[in-house]
């Protein structure tokens, strides 16, 4: 596990985007695993800036997002599909047909998502954020390390933390469809990013904690190619 500490949110975005760009340049039809939440926003802003300036070609890039809220249409403003369209896809020359986000409405065969990823050759580079409770994707504490894509219940802590994106806590979906921990571990390369003091404990567990389903992120200790990019606050306990 390689840990890179940088100063702030902006630097996390720059370093992460540069790493992603390097990988796109060496493999223009790369399969990227992408994440939502506030943490990757600075990365996506930098990628858009690069596209405007350097015209990096996204036309062959394929993407698979980690998760989606159950019950939200792809057009819903709080859906992760909408987030990705707005924050990245519409501002680079990606073919929208090459972008995949789990479907929060039609989700009777969640594992079809893992099959589709495998048919595309597997994820080359998986970008991850992390929850304050150590979740990755929406794999909450207690999730089996062998899990594949499935419909999952959100922990109360996650509902509370994510309520900042909704008008009221009652509007936060209670379930999501999420790639599983095994789905994430299948990626060839993992890049996890974290910003802020409220992530410090999760980062401490990720780097130094015992491998345990109580901290889902610790499964990554078993992966052979993980890079963690954190700001000073998120790194304050390691």
Pick 56 or 141: Cβ nearer ligand GLP: 141
Does 135 participate in catalysis according to the annotation?
yes
Cβ at position 28, least distance to ligand GLP in Å: 26
Q: How far is CA 164 from the centre of its chain?
A: 18
Using DSSP's 3-state secondary structure scheme, residue 49 falls into helix
Told to check if 162 binds ligand GLP by CB under 6 A, we report yes
Told to check if 130 binds ligand GLP by CB under 6 A, we report yes
Q: How many residues bind ligand GLP (CB under 6 A)?
A: 14
Q: Which stretch in 33-41, 104-112, 143-151, 229-237 sits in contact with ligand GLP by CB under 6 A?
A: 33-41
Does 67 participate in catalysis according to the annotation?
yes
Report the alpha-carbon angle 36-81-122, nearest 5. Answer: 70
Q: How far is CA 44 from the centre of its chain?
A: 12
CA distance 180 to 168: 28
Interface pick for ligand GLP out of 63, 107, 147, 158 (rule CB under 6 A): 158
Residues with Cβ < 8 Å from 108, sequence gap 6 or more? none
Pick 24 or 137: Cβ nearer ligand GLP: 137
Q: Tokens 């249409």 — which residue?
A: 73
| Alpha-carbon torsion angle 65, 70, 73, 79, nearest 10 | -50
From 135, 139, 162, 186, the catalytic residue: 135
From 50, 65, 67, 100, the catalytic residue: 67
Catalytic residues: 67, 133, 135, 140
- Residues at the site binding ligand GLP, with contacts judged by CB under 6 A: 35-39, 66-67, 129-131, 137-138, 158, 162
């Amino acid at each position: 596990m390689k840990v890179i500490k940088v100063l702030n949110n902006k630097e996390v975005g720059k370093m992460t985007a540069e790493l992603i760009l390097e990988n796109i340049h060496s493999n223009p039809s790369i399969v990227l695993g992408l994440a939502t939440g506030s943490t990757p926003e600075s990365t996506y802003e930098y990628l858009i800036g690069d596209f405007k300036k350097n015209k990096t070609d996204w036309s062959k890039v394929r993407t698979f997002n980690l998760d989606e809220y159950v019950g939200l249409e792809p057009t819903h403003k709080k859906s992760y599909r909408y987030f990705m369209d707005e924050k990245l896809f519409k501002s680079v020359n990606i073919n929208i047909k090459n972008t995949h986000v789990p479907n929060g409405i039609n989700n009777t065969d969640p594992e079809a998502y893992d099959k589709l990823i495998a048919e595309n050759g597997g994820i080359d580079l998986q970008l991850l954020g992390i929850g304050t409770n150590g979740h990755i994707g929406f794999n909450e504490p207690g999730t089996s390390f062998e899990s594949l894509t499935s419909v999952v219940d959100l922990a109360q802590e996650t509902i509370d933390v994510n309520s900042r994106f909704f008008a009221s806590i009652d509007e936060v979906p209670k379930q999501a469809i999420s790639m599983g921990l095994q789905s994430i571990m299948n990626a060839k390369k993992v890049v996890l990013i974290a910003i802020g003091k409220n992530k410090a404990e999760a980062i401490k567990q990720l780097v130094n904690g015992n491998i345990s389903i109580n901290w889902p992120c610790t499964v990554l200790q078993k992966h052979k190619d993980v890079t963690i990019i954190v700001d000073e606050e998120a790194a304050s306990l390691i």
